[in-house]
A and B are shown apart, each in its own frame.
Chain A
Amino acid sequence: MAEQPQWLDPGVLARLTRQFLHARLPMEGNVTGHHKSPHRGSSVEFAEYRKYVPGDDIRRLDWRVYGKTDRFYMREFEADTNLRAYMVLDCSGSMGYGSGATTKLEYARRLLATLAWLTVQQGDAVGISCFDYHTAIDIPPRRNPAHLRTILDSLGQVKPRGETALVGALHDLAERIRRRALVIIFSDCFCEVEPLLECFQHLRFRKHDLAVFHLLDRAELEFRFDRPVRFVDLETSSSLMAEPAIIRRQYLEQLQEHLDRLKTGCSQFHADYRRITIDQDYEKVLADFLIERARARVGSAGV
């Protein structure tokens, strides 16, 4: 067996293996699977009755209804299909920041790799899209377990660099994915909010289920500096000399406003938004993510 990358923890995988990654919306797969399809199919789950029209398969005629009503009705069942998940990883320079032991990119790798492993394990297809301002890695979704190795190898190659190209990459992705899919974004979203929300709207317009892991470092949230600091931009290498005591209030105001607008926009476009600080236990983050999606599916099924 090939050696597993460090961001795939066997213990975590073993504990999460019973969890199932559910789509909140009907998916369009190419094989039968565990996810609801927008089409009628041959599953055991009853969908509706409709009048017989010539050409229909008489095997699906409901003879009991005919016996009672002397009319021909066709029984229709839900179709189950597989899931196509696209994992989008922001590889811009800002993702390389981490005040503690890990960076945002490292944290995102763990989340992404684990989710990819779970997706393949449950028989669904997974693909990744890693991009920065200059380069992009795009691996289309496949169900093959050997495909997981390709994904993990690609993840190992990405490095944080350059300015973010999240907006362009998402629009491009929305255009390229023709069937309904689950799009999971891993990013710190350090870009203008409005263009980003337009991307989300674009993806939602294409009927994709959208989840956003907004990754932040606690130092970015608290901005606790007591001495003058020269801040060097991780994306452009430009620097800014600042007196934290003077600008801290304005910084926190700006950040708060950004987070509020992003959260409100995600809610508006029905994106599954999760703000994560990278000092959190990623296993718990994933477990919560999977459980809440499972609950959401059960809830929608009961309606």
Chain B
Amino acid sequence: MTFLQPFILWGLPLILLPVIIHLLNRMRHRSVQWAAMMFLRAASRKSTRYARLRQWLVLLFRVLAVLLLVLALSRPLAGGWLGWMFAPAPDVILILLDRSASMELRGPGATLTKRELALNLIGDAAGSFAGTSRFVLIDSATQSPGEIEAISALSELASVAPTETAADLPSLVQTAVDWITRNRPGSTELWIASDLQASNWSPESDRWNALNAALEELPQRVRIRLLALPAEADDNRSLSLTRVRRLETARGSELELDMEIRRGIETSDRLPLTLTLNQGRSQIDLAAEGRLFRHRHVVPLETREGGWGRVELPADANDRDNTAWFAFGPPPILRTAIVSEDPLAGRYLALAAAPDPNDTNRVARPIPPDQLASVVWDEHALVLWQGTLPKDDVAARLEDYVSSGGIVLFFPGDETGSGSFLGNGWGDDSRAEDEDTLFSVQQWDQQDGPLERTAEGLSLPMERLEVTRRRAINGEHTLLATFQDDPPFLTRTATGDGQAYFCATVPHPDWSRLQDGPVLVPLVQRLLQAGGARLAEVDFVACGDWDPSATPDTWIAVDSETRRDPVTQAGVYRAGGRLVAVNRPAREDLPGTLEPAEIESLLDGISLRLFEETQQGGDALQSELWRAFLFVMGIFLMVEAFLVLPERGGRRPIPMTLAPDDTPGEPEKELAA
């Protein structure tokens, strides 16, 4: 309990006043000469236990009323967080601060963000422990413990500043456990301030079990105080870019921005987005609907050079989730390596990979079998392989290529072959018996992958693809398209950052009409674009997940003269000619918070005290209780008044004043008779 006027608490001994008055009253008794002692003795004998109990209750309620009056005048503050003041001071207090972007949310009408509110509450509470406890701060962004010399200056530390990172609470608690193990302090308390965002707490993680075990095994007593700030704002919106692609089309260079807008409530309205592209600003009016709204925006590029930009939402409850950054480089040369046993199929594949001879950005290069050992696969955006699967050293190098982000599309050959690639291999050969029983593709993934719909929403003409010969695909894979009788047409196997695709037929007249183009060209071009992203001179990284210190370069924000930390601050950073767009991690935008009971189950067996700060207003920091105290005091006084009231009803009325009875006896009539 905390009081705004704590000096009034010196008046607490006043609660003894009723007792003292009672005792003085008894001591100040006077002696009275009395005649009617026979009634007095009888009354004293009959004085019931209830009467005495009632006297004690009256005294008790008077004491309580004075106590509540003193407490009310001291202006007590509500809040279990501040109520910790009465706990014994620990040796060390580890402050675990969630600095994720979601902590920058402001409640309706509030002037402080959750992080600022948490810092204020912690600072106020910690003030009482200054001089008795050491304070160590571990923030979620850097996760590096640092001792705080002056707790009063907590909110001014650089390590508590807002970030665009996501928090990893299990990792944060693990850091604290490691620190305790390493430094072996005495009694320790963990003060965790978090908004309980589910994606930050990872309740499904097995790490919690290990953490609980580690906390229980610590020799010293460790208590956890959790300041939960789970309040959400319905009017908050968050913006993220799910994909940024530079397209070279017949219209010229274009930048395709796939954006995602999340909102707290189901609503539809128009959102004015601000697009900044290479210092130029424009506005995008979006008719957004629903909690989750996706939009693809295409911007024509007037230059073949690279650049950067950002998309911004109007200001709302959280300014840290309104901006998404992007960067793009000059169009890369998309090289396709074609390895084909069948020359005709090889030519078809080369045409699909580089359909326009005048387009110098797309180069298809047939690889003779004798050069396979010397090919530098990493300079290729895509590898098209028709025939027997690679073996030995070639297969190993090709797997490395895929792991590093490369993409390979395999087509079968006449021979089944005994090899496999990433666990997949070719199976039996099957042919259509006649023209009426040709194989056709009936089901394929139209939402995602290389066979997805076009930007205009048109489906690829898969059902018109005629296949006369096919080969089974064996192994573990993801089905992207299947024939009408279930065997796979196209599969995908991912490893590392790359993927290996297997197609059941060959662009060759003996196999199918795949070489006609409507299916093969989009398929190859899409894979080429995906593989080419690896070659672009820009990177998209999640804030907090990227460690720029691992690179030898010095990274400077492109949009600001002031120095910014790419570890914690989103933006576009440049090092030499290379651009990196740093954005909030996608998980930071995921809605959903944990309930207190879920937190307690996560920290099962640990001494946990949870205080939920639901109000977000600045005034809610200190919610005064004096009205409640005065109200309860009033109730006590009413009970006391009720107890001292004389009894009524039920019994024979007791005359408070016995009037003299002058009525004489009237025996005369009887006597005369």
Contact = CB atoms under 8 A, between A and B. Distances in A.
B35 A267 contact: no
Interface stretch (A72-80, A135-143, A217-225): A217-225
Contact of A255 (B29, B658, B660): B658
Nearest to B661: A275
Interface in B38-70: 38-44, 46-47, 51-52, 55
Interface in A261-281: 263, 266-267, 269-277, 280
A239 interface: yes
A231 B31 CA distance: 6
6 contacts: A96-B33, A230-B32, A249-B654, A250-B42, A254-B38, A267-B666
B109 interface: no
Interface in A288-303: 288-289, 292, 296-297, 299-300, 303
A27 to B, nearest CB: 13
Contact of B31 (A239, A251, A258, A277): A239
Given A251-B43, A270-B671, A246 B55 contact: yes
Contact of B665 (A229, A272, A276, A297): A272
B39 A300 contact: no
Interface residues of B, number: 45
B656 A222 contact: yes
Nearest to B28: A227
Given A229-B29, A300-B671, 9 more contacts: A190-B37, A222-B657, A227-B29, A232-B34, A233-B37, A235-B35, A243-B26, A249-B647, A296-B668
A167 B43 CA distance: 24
A266 to B, nearest CB: 5
A143 B33 CA distance: 40
Interface in B626-673: 644, 646-647, 654-658, 660-662, 664-673
A234 B31 CA distance: 12
B37 A251 contact: no
A259 interface: yes
Contacts of B158: none
Contacts of B37: 94, 190, 231, 233-236, 238, 240
A251 B39 contact: yes
A273 B664 contact: yes
Give the 8 A-B residue pairs with the shortest CB-CB distance, closest first. A270-B667, A250-B43, A94-B35, A97-B35, A300-B672, A251-B43, A275-B661, A228-B29
A275 B660 contact: yes
B26, B55, B672: which has the most chain A beta carbons within 10 Å?
B672
A190 B39 CA distance: 9
Most A CB within 10 A of own CB, among B30, B40, B665: B665
Nearest to A295: B668
Contacts of B30: 227, 229-230
B153 interface: no
Interface string B376-413: 00000000000000000000000000000000000000
A25 interface: yes
A240 B36 CA distance: 12
Contacts, number: 166
B198 to A, nearest CB: 63
A247 B39 CA distance: 10
A276 B39 contact: no
Interface residues of A, number: 69
Contacts of A254: 38-39, 42-43, 46
Contact of B55 (A191, A243, A288): A243
B660 A231 contact: no
A188 B41 CA distance: 17
Contact of B34 (A233, A245, A246, A270): A233
A272 B667 contact: yes
A273 B28 CA distance: 40
B44 A240 contact: yes
A200 B665 CA distance: 13
Interface in B1-48: 25-26, 28-44, 46-47
Given A233-B37, A234-B33, A250-B46, A259 B658 contact: yes
Interface in A196-242: 216-217, 220-222, 225, 227-236, 238-242
Contacts of B35: 93-97, 104, 188, 190, 217, 220, 234-235
Given A254-B39, A275-B662, A246 B657 contact: no
Contacts of A144: none
Nearest to A26: B671
Contacts of A233: 34, 37
Contacts of A242: 40, 43-44
A213 B164 CA distance: 102
A289 B46 CA distance: 38
Given A190-B38, A270-B671, A299-B668, A229 B32 contact: yes
Contacts of B51: 246-247, 249
A292 B660 contact: no
B47 A222 contact: no
Pick the most buried of B29, B37, B51, B646: most chain A CB atoms within 10 A of its CB: B37
B300 to A, nearest CB: 96
A253 B55 contact: no
Nearest to B658: A221
Contacts of A65: none
A47 interface: no
B669 to A, nearest CB: 7
A239 B41 CA distance: 10
A210 B356 CA distance: 147
A12 interface: no
Nearest to A284: B662
A133 to B, nearest CB: 15
B655 A256 contact: yes
A253 B654 contact: yes
Residue in B29, B35, B55 whose Cβ sees the most chain A Cβ within 10 Å = B35
B671 A245 contact: no
Contact of A292 (B38, B658, B664): B664
Contacts of A228: 25-26, 28-29
A255 B658 CA distance: 9
A267 B668 contact: no
Nearest to B27: A228
B11 to A, nearest CB: 27
Given A270-B667, A273-B664, A275-B662, A240 B41 contact: yes
A96 B644 CA distance: 34
B658 A24 contact: no
A263 B666 CA distance: 11
A31 interface: no
A267 B656 CA distance: 25
Contacts of B36: 94, 190, 220, 255
A276 to B, nearest CB: 6
B665 A267 contact: yes
A221 B33 contact: no
A249 B646 contact: yes
A288 B33 CA distance: 32
A232 B29 contact: no
A25 B671 contact: yes
Given A220-B35, A255-B36, A247 B26 contact: no
Interface string A107-118: 000000000000
A58 interface: no
Interface string A168-208: 00000000000000000000101100000000000000000
A164 to B, nearest CB: 10
A239 B29 CA distance: 13
Contacts of B32: 225, 229-232
Nearest to A246: B51
A258 B51 CA distance: 23
A191 B30 CA distance: 26
Nearest to B47: A247
Contacts of A275: 660-662
B39 A258 contact: yes
A288 B662 contact: yes
* Highest count of chain B CB atoms <10 Å: which of A24, A229, A231, A243: A231
A230 B29 CA distance: 7
